[in-house]
Amino acid sequence: MKKLKVYIIILACVVLFLTGCSTTVEMVDGIGVQEDLSISEKMEGYGIPSVKISKPDVYYDGSLWVDRLCDEFEKADDYIVCVMFLGSECDENQRIFDILKEKSESGVEVYFITDGTGAFDMTESRYHLRPVDSLKESGVHVFTYNPFSVNRLSSGIGLLQREHRKFFVIDGETLFVGGMNVNYISTSSPSIGGQRDAMYCFHSSDVASIMMDNFVKYWNNESINELERSSFKIPVRSSSENLNAWFVDQYGTNLEIAKAYSALINTAQEEVLSLPFLPYFDKNMLEMVSNAVDRDIDYEMIIPFDSRISQRNSTYYALLRIVETGANVFVENFSEEMVPLLHEKLLVVDSRYTVFGSSNFNYRSMNLSNEMIVIVDDPDFAQQVTDHYNELKQTTHLLDLETAKTYEKLKYLPGFLFCFYGG
């Protein structure tokens, strides 16, 4: 099965090279680059909805996020929706599964959706994997998105489309969005081997309404058991929902992530700070970054240190082209010891706009994944996450051009290509 996956991705890479299609064209030729439009006008032009949200609570430790998530699950009276890229049981997250089973057995409608690549989890979680099938015995609606199988070979490039969103909805009241999955490395503290990541908890009747509109369409398109939108009630807006934001829920052919990034980065006036995670940029993304630098924007990013040597070499191969744009690329310092992977995704523009969610800043997230991001317009919140960014920056070094050149070795090209489309 693993060999089949590799062959499929290699074939798709060849096809994609020949077609050269990418939503990232919006980053260099579209509404996003129009100089006479504000960010708000660009978002409106792209049809990206404006919403009101409460100030998010941010969790950087998976074990603390699990505590909050379970607390919110316990309060559920009507429905719980869980959507994630990777989901598997382990000792560290057993409480999540136990509560979901209890809630389902008590009459709460529980939905648990994972991506079809879960069996290929190549992180530390693979040593702790237990299947989620036991949820079904308690009546939980379990669904696997786009699983790999011989029968699905006819879908071709469609097999590369992945469910990469991570979001949780409890009675339309409490929402979680971010980068954490429900597996060992996401639900464990970094101090015992978990990833360094972020999950955001907030309230928003606006976002919840859009989420459930899209979830019902998504479920009905993928499952034989149809849902009614009226089954998912949304509470009225509370007074705490006072921050201006935009919300992007990218799934299927609704590809909006690149447009949102284009509107933000092409309108930046001073500074862009980024945690891209896997920085596999295509030519349009590189050109947008270069154009920002040419406008005297202080564009910088932090690249994680990956203890997995092959993955690290593939990622470092991509860095020369980024350094050549003039962006400041800070790389986490080398360590002989196992370092918890920095899996977090973040963008802060002009100390005002904060982007969080599931989307990496790379080609795959723009074109080949279901993704979800929230863009918050609030200087205070931007300062809060910038302080966190600067803490991460303390253990990095600025990558210079000559060092970046040493990373671009032909033997690392296959790994780079695999990760560009499939990573």
List pLDDT tens digits, range 232-290. Answer: 999 999 999 999 999 999 998 889 999 999 999 999 999 999 999 999 999 999 999 99
Rounded average pLDDT per 10-residue block, the chain, 423 residues: 50 48 90 96 98 98 97 98 93 94 98 84 68 91 83 63 95 98 92 92 98 97 92 95 98 93 98 97 97 98 94 95 98 89 97 98 95 98 98 98 96 92 79
Q: What is the pLDDT of residues 244-257, one digit of tens each?
A: 999 999 998 889 99
Q: What is the pLDDT of residue 113?
A: 96
* Cβ pair 199, 178 in contact under 8 A: yes
Kindly state the helix (H) or strand (E) to which residue 21 belongs, with its residue range: none
Place of tokens 């690392």: 412
Q: What is the pLDDT of residue 127?
A: 62
Write the CB contacts of 308 (distance below 8 Å, at least 6 apart in sequence): none
Cα separation, 353 vs 129, in Å, equals 37
Question: Which residues make beta-bridge pairs with 176?
Answer: 168, 201
Q: Quick check: helix, strand or coil at residue 267?
A: coil
Structure token pair of residue 306 = 């990956």
Bridge-based pairing state of the strands 298-303 and 328-332: parallel
Cβ count near 20 (within 10 Å): 9
Show the DSSP H helices in 125-256 as ranges.
134-137, 184-187, 205-222
Kindly state the helix (H) or strand (E) to which residue 244 belongs, with its residue range: strand 243-250
Q: Is the dihedral of CA 129, 1, 115, 17 positive or negative?
A: positive
Bridge-based pairing state of the strands 162-163 and 369-377: parallel
DSSP letter (8 states) at residue 196? B
Cα separation, 14 vs 119, in Å, equals 25
* Cβ pair 308, 302 in contact under 8 A: no
Which long-range CB contacts under 8 A does 29-37 form with residues at least 24 apart?
A: 30/259, 30/262, 31/259, 31/262, 31/263, 32/259, 32/262, 32/263, 32/265, 32/266, 32/267, 33/262, 33/266, 37/267
Nearest CA to 382 out of 361, 355, 357 is that of 355
* Cβ pair 299, 276 in contact under 8 A: no
Q: What is the pLDDT of residue 150?
A: 56
Q: What is the pLDDT of residue 18?
A: 37
Sequential DSSP letters for 282-350: -HHHHHHHHHHHHTT-EEEEEEPP-SSHHHHHHHHHTHHHHHTTT-EEEEEPP-SS----B---EEEET
* Cβ pair 164, 82 in contact under 8 A: no
Gyration radius (Cα) of the chain, Å? 21
Sheet holding 57-59, edge to edge: 57-59, 199-202, 174-178, 167-170, 79-83, 109-115, 141-145
Q: What is the pLDDT of residues 11-34, one digit of tens each?
A: 455 445 534 568 999 999 999 999
Cβ count near 218 (within 10 Å): 22
Nearest CA to 4 out of 116, 123, 145 is that of 116
Nearest CA to 340 out of 198, 199, 195 is that of 195
Domains in the chain, CATH or no CATH each: 1-51+250-423 (3.30.870.10), 55-203+205-240 (3.30.870.10)
